[in-house]
Amino acid sequence: MRRHVLALVFAALAAAPVLAQAPAQAQAPRIVIVHAGQLLDRPGRPARGASTVVIRDGRIVEVRDGHVAAAAAGYTGAEVVDLRDRYVLPGLVDSHVHLTSDTGGVLSQLEEVQLNPAAKAYNALANAHKTLGEGFTTVRNLGDRDGVTLALRDAIRAGKVVGPNIVDAGTSISTTSGHMDPALGFRDDLREALDRHDNLCDGADACRRAVRLQVARGVDVIKIATTGGVNSRIGAGLSQQMFEDEARAIVDTARLYGKKVAVHAHGVDGVKVALAAGVDSIEHGTTLDDESLELFRKSGAYYVPTLSTVNGYLERIAADPNAYAPAVRAKVDWRIRITGESLRKAVPRGVKIAFGTDAGVSKHGRNGEEFALMVKHGMTPAQALEAATVNAADLLGLSAEVGTLEPGKRADLIAVEGDPLRDVTVLERVPFVMKDGAVFKDERTVATAAR
């Protein structure tokens, strides 16, 4: 409820400059000055201590040492946000979410035949608010149906509704019976009704067409599966399920349109086929070996571990032992046992890591719990934070816009209580979120006043 009200306030704030730009006359810029106790302006480097961030019309124009008063800085009348007792850092980036749902298991299967796209769209909006409210100002949505998140992306960009920046993959591509086959687990005669998304491809030509169909819908990135999935409703394993020529055809076609390719892969054979084809990221990568780690290093691809999925599985099973069909449950148990081993191997080998939760499998709005899991499985807090800012921004192709707090970038920033480089769990409770220079959430106990 609280967040809902905050979202409306934010909408009003964000809308103001848009409306003001309509007539072709000079309008006074909106200046916001943020006083930060500690500023982690470029994660990966040490905090720069007390600092002042100056924001003009939603973009950072300068960062100064110390707390400079508005008038002294030459911005008389500017709005001042007092975060002098907080750690201020860039808005977080989650490279792997599915905003339309987080029911999971048998319930999500039911949802597929119960919910119309319009109902899913409202779910996606509610989940987008939860995500932004926890400090994730940018997300990459890696697969849904009916163009729901694409429409949400555009509505947010146009200022019609409030939410994180979204990089969207449209509908994910796999082979027939693969991870994205929507007919799995349903009666045979329902295939015609369910398999209507043109996202299944068998053979190189069909795979080229599948990519082009997503490009035609306006997607930002292509998502494919080269292996089976834990949540695929068949017991066909988690190894390679896409041939080399199909994977290559997909990557080559995506490149024609300047699109990156993100790959769902658990089994290491499917990881290697994808990396050899030149993809940009491997999602999950549950069983990495030495050869695959070397391929990561050679190709420069990112590894997105999605450790939070385990939280989703454990919680659902605790609430209902029959939350998953038997064929799925066996894979879920395996994933719970093994998750984290690959990250533990990848970190010392210098593989590039980007933060990604697979929220949708885990609960939306709890994306910050991934940090503790990353640290548990071999990363330092500084590395985990870099993965969720600088690295994820790079993977998403948004380094010029987000990921650090520097002049020219979007004023997407959060404030937390305590040093996240000492204790990453402070990122599970984000009391202050600003996106594009407008406050989305402010739940600090100390009231702030414009001065």
What distance in Å separates the CA atoms of residue 437 and residue 255, rounded to the nearest whole number?
A: 34
Pairing of strands 438-442, 432-435: antiparallel
Nearer to Zn ion, 3 or 98 (CB): 98
- CB-based contact 40:86 (threshold 8 Å): no
What distance in Å separates the CA atoms of residue 450 and residue 227, rounded to the nearest whole number?
A: 54
Cβ at position 266, least distance to Zn ion in Å: 11
Nearer to Zn ion, 86 or 264 (CB): 264
- CB-based contact 148:118 (threshold 8 Å): no
What distance in Å separates the CA atoms of residue 92 and residue 95, rounded to the nearest whole number?
A: 10
Please give the residue whose beta carbon sits closest to Zn ion in the complex: 358
Q: Mask: binding to Zn ion, 199-238, rule CB under 5 A, as x and -? A: ----------------------------------------
Candidates 119-127, 186-194, 329-337, 357-365; binding stretch for Zn ion (CB under 5 A): 357-365
Nearer to Zn ion, 144 or 358 (CB): 358
Nearer to Zn ion, 83 or 128 (CB): 128
Candidates 31-39, 70-78, 358-366, 393-401; binding stretch for Zn ion (CB under 5 A): 358-366
Say whether residue 436 binds Zn ion (CB under 5 A). no
For residue 332, give both structure tokens.
């879920």
Please name the residues in contact with 89: beta carbons below 8 A apart, sequence gap of 6 or more.
Answer: 39, 40, 41, 43, 385, 389, 405, 413, 414, 415, 416, 420
Cβ at position 358, least distance to Zn ion in Å: 4
- CB-based contact 138:393 (threshold 8 Å): yes
Nearer to Zn ion, 38 or 232 (CB): 232
Strands across the sheet containing 136-141:
92-97, 136-141, 165-168
User: In the set 82, 102, 358, 412, which binds Zn ion (CB under 5 A)?
Assistant: 358
Cβ at position 285, least distance to Zn ion in Å: 12
Nearer to Zn ion, 67 or 335 (CB): 335
> Which among 205, 201, 160 is positioned nearest to 179, based on CA atoms?
201
Candidates 41-49, 147-155, 285-293, 355-363; binding stretch for Zn ion (CB under 5 A): 355-363
Cβ at position 9, least distance to Zn ion in Å: 32
Enumerate binding residues for Zn ion (CB under 5 A).
Answer: 358
